[in-house]
Chains A and B, each alone.
Chain A
Amino acid sequence: MSLVSVVKRAVEYVAERFPVEKLNYHAMVEKKEVPVHRLSWGYYLGGAALFFLCVQIVTGLMLLFYYQPTVSDAHASVEFISEHVHGGALIRNMHAWGSSMMIACVIAHLLTAFAMKAFEKPREITWVTGVGLLFLTFGFGFTGYLLPWHQIAVNATKIGLQSIEQVGQYLPGQMAQWPRAIRETIQGEATVGQATLSRFYAIHVIVLPFALAGLLGIHLLAVQLHGMSRGVDEPARRREKFFPIFIIKDFSVWGVAFFVLFVLALCLPFESFYSYPLFEAYDPNGSTPDGIKPEWYFYFVYYPLELLPFGVILVASGLAAVLLLLAPWIFRGTSRKTLRILAFAGAAYFLGMTLFGERIYHFFKGGAP
């Protein structure tokens, strides 16, 4: 195959995925339609995730005005926001609750898109960027968790980073030292300290948002160019216009989402699910308090990690990542029915581990739940 034909085929491939001839008012606004069927509710989830992202950006920006990213001041500045700044507790609480809701929406969006086979040609790029966005969202969660610099934050981050180093035992020879080097590069020093805080802060506030903006731009452009995927096998009985019908419905979903988030943030401090000592300022010389665990959205990998040998988890999560990224090609021929069952199994696993992970852990390992 000559170079010319390779380039030609590549251009054709991209052109099919990004049909820029549709980049006009008529195709993107007047003609865009949404099929109506029993899985139509899935079409709202991406929008809801986008909405929570907007909430995160706005509340995050507001927190930036008072937050100080140094080990001596971080915890005090967060406390200052919560206790003294007008509406500070609300804004901070909205940021915490919003992150959880955004992740919930993103995961549900992924599962429904999978069940609806929304990654079918020519939407592969949309799917892959979507998976990228999922990883970025988890990255936001992980880096943001450290910033308040309280006991649970620092200790959970330590544990999370340590698991990178655990990969070393499976690598041969000199390579066994690489994960440790990687961890120390991420940390910036031998243990989680000021360098780590500065790095996580920069990643959380600058790096990830820019990466997210880029990927999200591609994701949304592709969605706009291709329109909604059909979602079910049988032809849609009815289709409704994206503008203005669907978008109004979308906005009403956002309204409800905001209401729920606002009321939750107003009434229930996010911390109320943990015991207080976990939220004292981190003390590098004290012992680690009980009950250190990651945020709920990492339970699906955390509890298996506690139960099974690390190697099994490593292989399984590697496989899962590959499966997710290559889904458009791996599941090209799979029927929607099978995909629905797979998505359902995935959802059941995630929910089971998130809700009952601790009980499952104690069931196998003993000890009081």
Chain B
Amino acid sequence: MIDSFLLVGLPYLAITVCVVGTFWRWKTQAFTWSSLSSQFLEARQLRWGSMPWHLGILLVLLGHLVALALPRVWGSLMTYPTLLVITETVGLGAGAMALVGIVVLAFRRLTSGRVQAVTTTMDLVVLALLFFQSLLGVLTALLHRWGAAWSTATVVPYFWSILLLRPDPSLVADLPPIVKAHLVGAWLVLLAVPFSRLVHVLALPLSYLWRAPQIVIWSGSRRARMQAKDLAVAESRREFLKGAAGVAVAGTLLSAGVLDKLVRFFQGPKISGEMETVLLAKRLRHLQMTAEEQALQLERQKNDRILIGRLSELSATKGKYFIDFHMAPALAFLGANGLPLLISAKCTHLGCTVGGDVDAQGQILCPCHISYFKITTGEPNPGAPAKTPLPHLEWAVVDAAGKTLAQRTAGGAIEGSLAGVPPEACQVYVCRPSPEGAS
């Protein structure tokens, strides 16, 4: 009961209140749309609180947002262990930074008299909410590790089930209490948005990123203005030095890293004896493949007929690959007349190798751009990318004594017959294409 309120009722309440309330505030009280800066009341502690808080929470929120908005991309990225470790580490680091920041901010708000003077009850509520929310987030990351991965099957679908108006709290009902509390906290923060300074999240002052920095000072006296000017000069000098130091440190680290990689790259790998054997065997296999290829080529240079196999090995539905006289792949089938059927397997479209399985329509398929060729004629199907038929090749069937029983000549005519010789005793050869057949 309490679960269904916290995981279904509260979310809808929060979303509705957030949307309606924000819109109402924007319409009626646009000038209260502010983060209520108190920088000029107290700047020193603010820097140590606000900076880490905002940097940390921005990174963390960005991670949450990407995971929620692009669940499939995120889910597939998180299957890489390295990436998961990096994400979790960065997330935990940013979360911890945000937590430190919010603690400093809380301390400041509770101790500085000047800031106290402008603090409202809502500010304290927001502060407490954000503190507990960050704490719960960091605890989740520490105690229930790899949330970046497991949340893709729990929290993300839950969130989408809420958005798509078919809420399914069972997706997150069995999560540990800390995680559930973190979820509830998120809805509470959303609920508080229209009533507090949190609305400033919805303002996106992107131009702040490249505008010149502004220093807030008390206006009035000439002395103060001069001071501000001196401060600006000193500040810019300090920024330059800081930048230079940063570049120097980063440069040193980078060159150390690069040098380490470079040296080890050129040192070459230290390979175990076992691995060396594997590598040598592989190399030998590749060399043998090349040698076989060249032997085939030589064979075709020297002979006018190349043996494919026994006639009984051929099938009408599954082609036997061989290399034809152009050194291109070709297929041998058993034709309907019990004689061989030899057809080039080099697709006439872009030269891919055509598959060897004959389908129910008596066609073979080129997988590259989906052309079907009828094996009896070589013709491609209408509308196929291939326009010209696969050529049939010339063959000869020879008996055990070396006598040619039947052959297909350049014109396509078939001469002779098996004359009762069993297919086991017949050898099928592919013949060198005659010059007029080639043209």
Contact = CB atoms under 8 A, between A and B. Distances in A.
Interface in B290-344: 290, 293, 321, 323, 326-329
A72 to B, nearest CB: 4
Nearest to A84: B269
Interface size classification for chain B: 35 or more
Of the listed residues A70, A288, A367, the one surrounded by the most CB atoms of chain B closer than 10 A to its CB is A288
B80 A267 contact: yes
A224 B355 CA distance: 57
A78 B166 CA distance: 51
A268 interface: yes
Interface string B395-424: 000000000000000000000000000000
B352 to A, nearest CB: 4
A149 B126 CA distance: 61
Interface size classification for chain A: 35 or more
B320 to A, nearest CB: 12
B193 to A, nearest CB: 32
Interface in A156-205: 158-159, 162-163, 190-191
B265 A91 contact: yes
A292 B353 CA distance: 12
Interface string B265-290: 11111010001000100110011011
A86 B323 CA distance: 40
Contacts of B271: 84
Given A159-B351, A292-B368, A367-B370, A191 B265 contact: no
B369 interface: yes
A286 B353 contact: yes
A62 B287 contact: no
Nearest to B83: A267
Contacts of B369: 306
A96 interface: no
A91 B345 CA distance: 38
Contact of A88 (B265, B275, B328, B354): B265
B62 interface: no
A283 B286 CA distance: 10
B350 interface: yes
A267 B86 contact: yes
Given A84-B275, A86-B267, A72 B290 contact: yes
A214 interface: no
A65 B355 CA distance: 38
B367 A289 contact: yes
Interface string A208-247: 0000000000000000000000000000000000000000
Interface of A: 62, 65, 70-73, 75-76, 80, 84-88, 90-91, 155, 158-159, 162-163, 190-191, 266-268, 281, 283-290, 292, 306, 367
Given A70-B290, A80-B279, 16 more contacts: A65-B265, A65-B266, A71-B290, A72-B283, A72-B286, A76-B282, A76-B283, A90-B261, A159-B368, A191-B327, A266-B82, A267-B86, A284-B329, A287-B355, A292-B352, A306-B385
9 contacts: A70-B290, A71-B290, A80-B269, A85-B265, A267-B83, A284-B293, A285-B323, A285-B329, A287-B353
Interface of B: 80, 82-83, 86, 261-262, 264-269, 271, 275, 279, 282-283, 286-287, 289-290, 293, 321, 323, 326-329, 345, 349-356, 366-370, 385
